[in-house]
């Protein structure tokens, strides 16, 4: 089966600009996650969707970050305006429903904010 | 607060055995995961423990003690390709994953 797809793979922007990331989860996976991973740290959950509803967005900086998952499949994550500290890898993951539901990760988008 | 502790970095020799420890304090427990992450790549699933004991999968084994809030990942017959970061993650009472910072494993010939 095809894995989680993300684009772009790399993005360089200047602070105060906006940027958007796209994710296509594994077919049939109801749950979709966006993570921020800063170099040398573990992933930090930004937002979790179950189908097209938000399950958890408690760590999403809502003044600048937004995410949507229209139709319960693809998702986009937007940052507007970007800050220097947003430089990180943005990982999208998906999982089936169920107790074990290990997460499958996409290749990530490496964002550099100058 | 919720916390996952792992060593920052470990070094081992090709062909040897290494044990990576993980201790956790979380609000509830609904399973522990180990993921492998090569530099510049996404994490990939290695193992899942929800009951006490040892789970073996080829060269990799994972152990869990819920009463001690402790797990370890055991890697045998180390190969150069095992050089990576190993992430411990615990699912809490809300079924949210709490991630450790990862242990960078360096394999030397």
The answer to whether residue B22 neighbours chain A at the CB level (below 8 Å) is no
pLDDT at A1: 65
Cβ–Cβ below 8 Å for B101 and A42 = yes
Assess B29–A contact: CB distance below 8 Å, yes or no: no
A&B contacts, CB < 8 Å: 42
Residue B55 is predicted with a pLDDT of 94
Is residue B73 within 8 Å of residue B86, measured between CB atoms? yes
Q: Are residues A42 and B102, on separate chains, in Cβ contact within 8 Å?
A: yes
Rounded Cα distance between B5 and A96, Å, is: 28
Within 63-102 of B, beta carbons closer than 8 Å to A belong to 87, 89, 94, 96-97, 99-102
A108 touches chain B (CB under 8 A): yes
Residue B94 pLDDT? 83
pLDDT for B97-106, tens place per residue? 899 999 999 9
Query: Residue A24: pLDDT above 70?
Result: yes
pLDDT at B2 over 90: no
d(CA B46, CA B63): 12
pLDDT of res. A99: 60
Mark yes or no for CB contact B102/A45 under 8 Å.
Answer: no
pLDDT digits (tens, 9 = 90+) for A27-42: 999 999 999 999 889 9
Phi, psi angle pair for A52, to nearest 5°: -105, 15
- Residue of higher predicted confidence among B94 and A88: A88
Output the average pLDDT for chain A.
93
Of residues A97 and A47, more confidence is placed in A47
Quickly count: other Cβ atoms within 10 Å of residue B99's Cβ: 21
In this prediction, residues B57-72 reach a mean pLDDT of: 96
């Amino acid at each position: 089966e095809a894995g989680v797809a993300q684009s772009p793979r790399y993005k360089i922007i200047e602070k105060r600009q906006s940027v958007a990331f796209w994710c296509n989860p594994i077919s049939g996976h109801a749950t979709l996650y966006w993570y921020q991973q800063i170099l040398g740290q573990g992933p930090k959950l930004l937002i979790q969707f179950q189908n097209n509803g938000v399950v958890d967005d408690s760590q999403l900086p809502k003044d600048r970050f937004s995410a949507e998952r229209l139709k319960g499949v693809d998702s986009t994550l937007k940052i507007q305006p970007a800050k220097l500290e947003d430089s990180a890898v943005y990982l999208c993951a998906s999982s089936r429903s169920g107790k074990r539901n290990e997460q499958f990760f996409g290749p990530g988008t490496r964002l550099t904010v100058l | 607060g919720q916390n996952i502790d792992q060593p920052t970095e470990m070094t081992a020799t090709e062909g040897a055995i290494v044990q990576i420890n993980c201790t956790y304090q979380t609000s509830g427990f609904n399973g522990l995961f180990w993921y492998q992450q090569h530099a510049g790549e996404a994490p990939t699933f290695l193992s899942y423990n929800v009951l006490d004991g040892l789970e073996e999968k080829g060269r990799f084994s994972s152990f869990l003690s819920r009463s001690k809030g402790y797990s370890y990942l055991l890697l045998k017959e180390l190969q150069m390709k095992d050089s990576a970061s190993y992430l411990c993650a615990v699912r809490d009472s809300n079924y949210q994953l709490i991630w450790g910072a990862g242990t960078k494993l360096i394999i030397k010939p």
